[in-house]
Structure 1
């Protein structure tokens, strides 16, 4: 019998996974850094993540979205993952959580 998991619970698991992924140049996870704009989970447990990078010329522009996709897809209840990159709106330091700003000595 397949495990039944609600989309909100799965969303929480996805956020926990995203918090294990770090920008290699900044010692803060990509979620707290504000690189994740949105996470959508449908009733079929298919996930769409809209994310950005600190700049379009970021050295991990190829590898970071792939790492996000692979790690989220590794969750048992996730059927499929699509990662969409966007630079609109552009990332700014205002996207960072208070926790990230504190970690980086910006508060």
Structure 2
């Protein structure tokens, strides 16, 4: 049970870190923007993040995943981080949170 609590705490810490990373072209963090499709954490505290970009030609296609990997790896409880980039399904504005839509004046 104690490890379960640790895993939940670790998941919360990962999301908190993801919310500090912003798309340089849109003033919304990548989590609220809907670029993070899933976060997996195994019992060895290895993290895999499934994410996308707003478009395959995104100017930060090379730097953004590296920034995410470095920031998530800096969390004490994380042992390893793998970033998997996918374009299936393609990102759309429908993936944005209500908070992000409000921030961008879309509501």
Report which of the two has the higher share of helix: 2
Task: Give the equivalent residue in structure 1 for 2:104.
Answer: 104
Structure 1 runs of 4+ with >3 Å offset: none
Instruction: Deviation per CA, 1:57-92: give whole Å up to 9, x if none.
Output: 000000000000000000011000000000000000
Determine helix, strand or coil for the equivalent of 1:6. Answer: helix
RMSD of the TM alignment (CA)? 0.9
Q: CA deviation at 1:7?
A: 1.2
Alpha-carbon distance in 2 for matches of 1:15, 1:100? 15
Gaps of 5+ in 2: none
Q: CA deviation at 1:36?
A: 0.1
Instruction: Deviation per CA, 1:17-41: give whole Å up to 9, x if none.
Output: 0000000000000000000000000
Gaps of 5+ in 1: none
State TM-score, norm by structure 1.
0.95
Determine helix, strand or coil for the equivalent of 1:83. Answer: strand
Task: Give the equivalent residue in structure 1 for 2:79.
Answer: 79
Instruction: Write the mapping of 1:58-73 to structure 2, written as runs, cut at 5 A.
Output: 58-73=58-73
Alpha-carbon distance in 2 for matches of 1:87, 1:6? 31
Q: How many corresponding residue pairs?
A: 104
Alpha-carbon distance in 1 for matches of 2:7, 2:25? 32
Task: Give the equivalent residue in structure 2 for 1:45.
Answer: 45
